[in-house]
Amino acid sequence: MAEYISLYMFLAVCLLLMLGYPVAFTLAGTALAFAAGGILAGSFDPDFLAALPGRIFGTISNTTLIAVPLFILMGVILEKSRVAEELLGSMAKVFGGLRGGLGISVVVVGMLLAASTGIVGATVVTMGLLSLPSMLRSGYSPSLAAGTICATGTLGQIIPPSIALVLLGDILSSAYQQAQLNMSIFNPKTVSVGDLFTGAMLPGLALVAMYIVYLLIYA
């Protein structure tokens, strides 16, 4: 029975998310509910919960992770201020004379939004609302229009600054140092978030270039 607990937790999280509950409350509530059930069943040691405040404080005091809510705030500001909409209009005028100019505008604006927010969902939703109707009216096939927006939205995962890279940087830094200590290297080097940003810049720009070339050929 105990080996299926993780599966039950996963199903409970999926069910609560589909019912519309916020992600934070769903994850925390599911974990605490299963912990309470385990305590009542005698299969979970309640002393483990004593470490919860320390874990929360450690996350809050992590100077690297402080960038995550700031990126989210920046994305909300861009959405509410309608800067993205004006930027899309400006880029459409710049690339309007090219074959697939509107699609190229979507890629460029999506790249800038991805670099500003670092969030895939925010970029896809914003670009979908702003550009999908215009692309369909301009004669783009639904598959090409939707594919362009979705592919552009994923740039938020790789083009710096990216929330995913910030989170990975925090994890990889500790893991890399621990690996060096295990190898008896007692003056370990670290992998910083800046190193990840530097390494991800060229692949991100290469993806943008390939998207633009594809649109120039097939749009």
Residue found by looking up tokens 């996350």 in the block:
59
Beta strands in the chain (DSSP E): none
pLDDT per position as a tens digit, 141-191 = 889 988 888 888 788 778 887 777 877 887 888 787 788 888 877 777 777
User: Residue 78 pLDDT more than 80?
Assistant: no
Residue found by looking up tokens 């939205």 in the block:
153
Task: Tell me the C-alpha distance between 197 and 158, whole Å.
Answer: 8
Instruction: Determine if the pTM surpasses 0.85.
Output: no
Which 3 state secondary structure label does DSSP give 138?
coil
CB 156 within 8 Å of CB 114 = yes
